[in-house]
Amino acid sequence: MQNFLGNFECTIDAKGRLMVPAKFRHLVPEVSAAMYVISMGKERCLNLYPLNEWNEVVVSELHKLPPGPKKRNYIRFYSSKSRTLNLDKSGRIAIPPAMLEALGGPKKVMVVGVLNYIEIWSIEDYEKVSHEADDTFLDGEWEY
Protein backbone atom coordinates (compact mmCIF):
# COMPACT_ATOMS: atom_id res chain seq x y z
CA MET A 1 0.00 0.00 0.00
CA GLN A 2 1.26 3.43 -0.88
CA ASN A 3 1.03 6.18 1.71
CA PHE A 4 -1.82 8.67 1.66
CA LEU A 5 -0.15 12.09 1.69
CA GLY A 6 -1.50 15.61 1.37
CA ASN A 7 -4.83 17.23 2.08
CA PHE A 8 -7.79 18.26 -0.03
CA GLU A 9 -10.72 20.55 0.67
CA CYS A 10 -13.84 18.71 -0.43
CA THR A 11 -17.58 19.30 -0.47
CA ILE A 12 -20.23 17.13 1.16
CA ASP A 13 -23.23 17.01 -1.18
CA ALA A 14 -26.89 17.22 -0.13
CA LYS A 15 -27.03 13.42 0.26
CA GLY A 16 -24.01 13.34 2.58
CA ARG A 17 -21.64 12.02 -0.07
CA LEU A 18 -17.96 12.82 -0.29
CA MET A 19 -15.87 12.46 -3.42
CA VAL A 20 -12.72 10.63 -2.30
CA PRO A 21 -9.81 12.51 -3.92
CA ALA A 22 -8.58 10.70 -7.04
CA LYS A 23 -4.99 10.80 -5.76
CA PHE A 24 -6.14 8.71 -2.80
CA ARG A 25 -8.44 6.38 -4.76
CA HIS A 26 -5.60 5.44 -7.11
CA LEU A 27 -3.45 4.26 -4.18
CA VAL A 28 -5.90 1.59 -3.06
CA PRO A 29 -5.30 -1.91 -4.49
CA GLU A 30 -7.99 -2.97 -6.95
CA VAL A 31 -8.95 -5.91 -4.75
CA SER A 32 -10.44 -3.56 -2.14
CA ALA A 33 -10.72 -0.33 -4.14
CA ALA A 34 -14.49 -0.09 -3.78
CA MET A 35 -14.75 -0.95 -0.07
CA TYR A 36 -13.87 1.33 2.82
CA VAL A 37 -14.49 1.39 6.56
CA ILE A 38 -15.23 4.68 8.29
CA SER A 39 -14.95 5.09 12.05
CA MET A 40 -14.94 7.78 14.68
CA GLY A 41 -11.48 9.13 15.44
CA LYS A 42 -10.26 9.99 18.94
CA GLU A 43 -10.20 13.62 17.98
CA ARG A 44 -13.16 15.30 16.32
CA CYS A 45 -12.59 13.62 12.96
CA LEU A 46 -13.56 10.53 11.01
CA ASN A 47 -11.05 7.86 10.02
CA LEU A 48 -11.45 6.28 6.60
CA TYR A 49 -9.62 3.04 5.82
CA PRO A 50 -9.54 0.96 2.66
CA LEU A 51 -11.05 -2.38 3.73
CA ASN A 52 -7.77 -4.27 3.38
CA GLU A 53 -5.96 -1.73 5.56
CA TRP A 54 -8.74 -1.84 8.18
CA ASN A 55 -8.36 -5.61 8.41
CA GLU A 56 -4.55 -5.50 8.50
CA VAL A 57 -4.27 -2.71 11.06
CA VAL A 58 -7.37 -2.20 13.20
CA VAL A 59 -8.83 -5.71 13.29
CA SER A 60 -5.46 -7.42 13.73
CA GLU A 61 -4.52 -5.02 16.56
CA LEU A 62 -7.84 -5.64 18.29
CA HIS A 63 -7.22 -9.39 18.16
CA LYS A 64 -3.78 -8.90 19.74
CA LEU A 65 -5.21 -7.29 22.87
CA PRO A 66 -5.20 -9.50 25.96
CA PRO A 67 -8.56 -11.12 26.74
CA GLY A 68 -10.78 -9.26 29.14
CA PRO A 69 -13.23 -6.39 29.52
CA LYS A 70 -10.97 -3.75 27.89
CA LYS A 71 -10.63 -5.85 24.75
CA ARG A 72 -14.38 -6.43 24.61
CA ASN A 73 -15.05 -2.71 25.06
CA TYR A 74 -12.61 -1.75 22.30
CA ILE A 75 -14.23 -4.28 19.99
CA ARG A 76 -17.69 -2.99 20.92
CA PHE A 77 -16.59 0.59 20.26
CA TYR A 78 -15.14 -0.13 16.84
CA SER A 79 -18.01 -2.44 15.91
CA SER A 80 -20.69 0.09 16.86
CA LYS A 81 -18.92 3.29 15.73
CA SER A 82 -17.75 2.03 12.32
CA ARG A 83 -19.49 1.39 9.03
CA THR A 84 -18.53 -0.36 5.81
CA LEU A 85 -18.95 1.93 2.80
CA ASN A 86 -18.99 1.27 -0.91
CA LEU A 87 -17.30 3.64 -3.30
CA ASP A 88 -19.79 4.47 -6.05
CA LYS A 89 -18.93 4.69 -9.76
CA SER A 90 -18.27 8.42 -9.38
CA GLY A 91 -15.72 7.85 -6.58
CA ARG A 92 -18.02 8.94 -3.74
CA ILE A 93 -18.78 7.48 -0.34
CA ALA A 94 -22.00 8.17 1.57
CA ILE A 95 -21.05 9.24 5.09
CA PRO A 96 -23.66 8.20 7.67
CA PRO A 97 -25.63 11.24 8.95
CA ALA A 98 -24.67 10.64 12.60
CA MET A 99 -20.99 10.74 11.67
CA LEU A 100 -21.42 14.00 9.78
CA GLU A 101 -23.24 15.42 12.79
CA ALA A 102 -20.30 14.42 15.01
CA LEU A 103 -18.21 16.74 12.82
CA GLY A 104 -20.74 19.53 13.23
CA GLY A 105 -22.61 18.90 9.96
CA PRO A 106 -20.11 20.67 7.69
CA LYS A 107 -20.71 21.23 3.98
CA LYS A 108 -16.96 21.48 3.36
CA VAL A 109 -14.39 19.15 4.88
CA MET A 110 -10.64 18.66 4.79
CA VAL A 111 -9.65 15.19 3.63
CA VAL A 112 -6.17 14.43 4.96
CA GLY A 113 -3.78 11.61 4.13
CA VAL A 114 -2.32 10.09 7.30
CA LEU A 115 0.03 7.48 5.80
CA ASN A 116 -2.09 4.30 5.87
CA TYR A 117 -5.53 5.88 6.31
CA ILE A 118 -7.47 9.09 5.66
CA GLU A 119 -8.90 11.58 8.15
CA ILE A 120 -11.99 13.69 7.45
CA TRP A 121 -12.23 16.97 9.40
CA SER A 122 -14.42 20.04 9.47
CA ILE A 123 -12.34 22.89 8.03
CA GLU A 124 -12.31 24.76 11.35
CA ASP A 125 -11.22 21.76 13.43
CA TYR A 126 -8.53 20.85 10.91
CA GLU A 127 -7.06 24.35 11.03
CA LYS A 128 -6.66 24.01 14.81
CA VAL A 129 -5.12 20.54 14.75
CA SER A 130 -2.89 21.47 11.82
CA HIS A 131 -1.43 24.37 13.80
CA GLU A 132 -0.89 22.04 16.76
CA ALA A 133 0.92 19.58 14.49
CA ASP A 134 3.13 22.38 13.13
CA ASP A 135 3.98 23.48 16.68
CA THR A 136 4.77 19.92 17.74
CA PHE A 137 7.12 19.51 14.79
CA LEU A 138 8.82 22.88 15.26
CA ASP A 139 9.22 22.43 19.02
CA GLY A 140 10.25 18.79 18.85
CA GLU A 141 13.57 17.13 18.40
CA TRP A 142 12.44 14.51 15.91
CA GLU A 143 13.10 15.12 12.24
CA TYR A 144 13.68 12.79 9.37
Task: Give bridge partners of residue 10 from the DSSP assignment.
Answer: 109
Residue 58 CA to residue 112 CA, distance in Å, equals: 19
Residue 66 falls inside a structural domain = no
> What is the arithmetic mean of pLDDT over 75-86?
94
Give the mean model confidence (pLDDT) for residues 65-72.
Answer: 95
Helix (H) or strand (E) holding 36, with range, is strand 35-40
* Residue 71 falls inside a structural domain: no
In a domain, 104, yes or no: yes
- 139: pLDDT confidence band, cut at 50, 70 and 90? confident
| Predicted pLDDT of residue 126 | 96
Share of the chain above pLDDT 70, in %: 97
Distance CA 78, CA 91 (A): 25
**DSSP letter assigned to residue 3:** P
Residue 16 lies in a domain: yes
Q: Give the model's confidence band at 142: pLDDT under 50 very low, under 70 low, under 90 confident, else very high.
A: confident
Identify whether 121 is part of a domain.
yes
Please measure the distance between the N-terminal and C-terminal CA atoms of the chain and give it in whole angstroms.
21
The total of structural domains in the chain comes to: 1
Please check whether residue 75 lies inside any domain of the structure.
no
- Find the domain containing 27 and state its range: 7-52+81-139
Whether residue 76 is contained in a domain is answered as: no
Chain centroid offset of residue 125 CA:
15
Where residue 11 sits, what CATH number does that domain have? 3.40.1550.20
In a domain, 64, yes or no: no
Residue-wise pLDDT for 23-34, tens only, equals 999 888 766 668
How much is the pTM? 0.90
